[in-house]
Amino acid sequence: MDEDEAMAPVQRSASGSDRIPDVPGFARRAAGQDPDSPKKAGKALRAVVPRSSHDTMVIGPGRPDAVQAVEESNRGRVPELTPIRVGRMAASPFAFMRGSAGLMAHDLAATPVTGVVAQICGDAHAANYGLYGDVRGNLVIDLNDFDETVLGPWEWDLKRLATSIVLAGREAGADEETCRRSAFDAAGTYRRTMRLLAKLSVLDAWNAIADEELVSHTDARDLLGTLERVSEKARNNTSARFAAKSTVVAPYGGRHFVDTPPVLRRVPDKEAAAVAASLAEYLETLSEDRLPLLARYAIHDVAFRVVGTGSVGTRSYVVLLIDHRGEPLVLQVKEARPSVLLPHLGAAGFEAPEPMHEGRRVVLGQKRMQVVSDILLGWATVEGRPFQVRQFRNRKGSVDPAALAADQIDDYARMTGALLARAHAHSVDPRLLAGYCGKNEELDEAVAGFAVLYADRTEADHAELVAAVRSGRLAAELGV
């Protein structure tokens, strides 16, 4: 090889290597790629969708009134349980919001979006965050309800969270400036957390903000006492404790559930057998290393249990499993209906997802958003209906944001804003959203402005629901 030949540049493939081709599923390793290009793309979006535009709230023609929305969302639910759902939603404007994710999605579809697709919770209100146990029994805190999860606009989650903070603060008796400031803080901490994640390596960002660092990261020290009390209660919130309260020794020597209507009731043998049989399909959705664990339990009983606010009236079962020492494990088999966001994604410019088993949708969405998920998450089909399956009472605990002291509302807002950013960063490059959200408080102000306006709208909707209950148009069981 002569000197000129030796000095000639080596021609490489687009990936920067002769040996390694681009591999589907991995980033394309283009030579000279600008590592800040996602951030620049995010900044460019500001010209298309100004951050200040997120204060927009449009209540357009054709919007269903609150009563119509509740009646429509009750379709397909167990009829005798819908009065419980209505009663729970009538309790307060915050409770109404918890049960009306579909109505808010209708309204959000008319608001500005950047078009950035994220795995979103779909129902990221302030009461859908909480503690739960990991595989070692340690407590983690994260989003914990994914019934409505879809690929959609990240802004919807952030605006729903901020609005719920305003409503929870009003219910807690906080003054209006505290409520608005708390919504501002939720958005601000979301933005700052996304900027932090954008500066980290991919792996560090994925696992960032360990739970023991969450309070200091969000400056939520006023919440420490509340979190400690909730944690202590959560440690005792187990399958064994639930089974001890809800089952008795059966004549054949095992245990079975006892009726405690209307929340828990035994089901006919045929229905119980169908639920139990569905667990064979459920096992096929689990990682194979989980199968020896469940193989050491026997199924003893099945009961129907009413859950949640928005979920009331959907079919939800608890399944009692017993090991060789008589120790219980309880699984929840909960109906998975199509996300209420689905009809509204098109109006916001997002494609409808490919059809899949609704339980699988929920499970995949949950795993994409949480840092740590229940090791027994799976799905099944019971008499043609899709269900998700998970552990019941897995050391779960939650903060009631509407019961916080006024000086704790903003701490809780910052904490949930940070958790939402971490969850979104699992499906969206945080550099892209950090580039859009930026350094200043323009987005924070806009989201807080929207939150106050939409909280007012929700209070009006709630008033319509209460009036319909009082007039007899809607049946409601209050206080259940």
The answer, yes or no, to whether residue 80 has pLDDT greater than 70, is yes
**What average pLDDT score do residues 276-293 get?**
97
pLDDT reported for residue 32: 59
The pLDDT tens digits of the residues spanning 227-239 come to 999 999 999 999 9
Residue 187 lies in a domain: yes
Q: What domain count does the chain have?
A: 1
> pLDDT for 190-210, tens place per residue?
999 999 999 999 999 988 877
Residue 10, pLDDT > 50, answer no
Q: Does residue 368 lie in a domain region?
A: no
pTM of the predicted model as reported, rounded to 2 decimal places: 0.93
Q: What is the mean pLDDT of residues 281-291?
A: 97
* Helix (H/G/I), strand (E/B), else coil: 202: helix
Report pLDDT for 427. Answer: 97
Q: Which pLDDT does position 246 carry in this prediction?
A: 96
Q: Is residue 387 part of a domain?
A: no
What pLDDT does residue 13 have?
45
Judge whether residue 250 has pLDDT over 90.
no
Nearest to 414 by CA among 424, 396, 431, 401: 401
Mean pLDDT of 293-301: 97
Give the span between the Cα atoms of 424 and 66, in whole angstroms: 30
262 vs 276: which has the higher pLDDT: 276
Residue 18 has what pLDDT?
A: 64
Q: What is the pLDDT of residue 307?
A: 86
Q: Does 454 map to a domain?
A: yes
On the 0-12 / 13-18 / 19+ scale of CB atoms within 10 A, 342 is middle
pLDDT of 339 > 70? The answer is yes
Question: Which range, of 18-32, 39-53, 330-344, averages the lowest pLDDT?
Answer: 18-32
Would residue 31 count as lying in a domain? Answer: no
* Range with the poorest average pLDDT among 50-64, 78-92, 211-225, 357-371: 211-225
For residues 118 and 154, the answer to whether their CB atoms sit within 8 Å is yes
Who wins on pLDDT, 137 or 189?
189
pLDDT in the model for residue 253: 76
d(CA 400, CA 383): 36
Range of the domain at 104: 39-49+63-116+124-234+401-471
* Residue 300 vs residues 256, 303, 412: alpha-carbon distances, Å: 7, 11, 41
